[in-house]
Amino acid sequence: MERNVDTEIQFSGLKSGIYHYDYTLGDSFFSDFKNEKILGGEVFFDVKLEKKERLMLFFFAFSGKVRTECDRCLEEIDWPVEGNETICVKLSDTETSDDENVVILPESAFKVDLAQWMYELVAVSMPIRCIHPDDADGNSTCNPEMLKYISEGTENGEWETENGEWETENGDENEEIDPRWEALLKLKK
């Protein structure tokens, strides 16, 4: 994968010690991963590598903004992201690890690419649901045209729950109930 940011670190020639790397990830970096949630952005990474003889610790600190779609009105929105994470890299031909923060590389490895880790750290730092924030008066800053369509749905007995799902009001109380559920409804009363 060709990128405008070189995220590979050749560690085979490095002596034991601490090394610092700075990265600025832009639209072209995020477009390589083809995620529908992250459309682009600008995220700054400060990576500290603590190299030991058979072990490397990568300390990631990042902050910036990614461009995504508002889950309510579908317009683009810049979403702030930030975080810190540590990944331990061990060199071993026999050892395995179930820990997501421990990576085992073969003894023959001489470099590591940080791109996937950096991308995943940004993706995981985003909330499940991204919505335009309300203004100072508590009014939504989403696209007013889309909000009009959403409010039309609520007039028809549909509404959006707190977790973003749509529910429909069942106004027909004379509807015949399955006898298996009727006994449960009696318990509810």
The tens digit of pLDDT for each residue in 43-58 reads 999 999 999 988 999 9
d(CA 28, CA 31): 5
Residue reference for tokens 């639209």:
27
d(CA 180, CA 170): 19
Q: Does residue 118 sit in the same domain as residue 36?
A: yes
Lowest-confidence pick of 10-24, 73-87, 97-111? 97-111
The tens digit of pLDDT for each residue in 144-153 reads 888 887 776 5
Q: Does residue 106 sit in the same domain as residue 19?
A: yes
User: Which phi and psi (to 5°) does residue 188 adopt?
Assistant: -70, -30
* CA separation, residue 151 to residues 14, 44, 126, 158, 162 (Å): 61, 39, 27, 9, 15
Query: What percentage of the chain reaches a pLDDT higher than 70?
Result: 84
Range of the structural domain that residue 150 is part of: 134-161
DSSP states of 9-76: EE-TTPPSEEEEEEEEE-HHHHHTT--SS--EEEEEEEEEEEE-SSEEEEEEEEEEEEEEE-TTT--E
With a cut of 50, say whether residue 171 has pLDDT above it.
no
Closest CA to 81 of 60, 102, 103: 60
Q: Does residue 26 sit in the same domain as residue 101?
A: yes
The answer as to whether 1 is a domain residue is no
The answer as to whether 68 is a domain residue is yes
The answer as to whether 109 is a domain residue is yes
Number of domains the chain contains: 2
User: Which two three-digit tokens encode residue 54?
Assistant: 């058979």
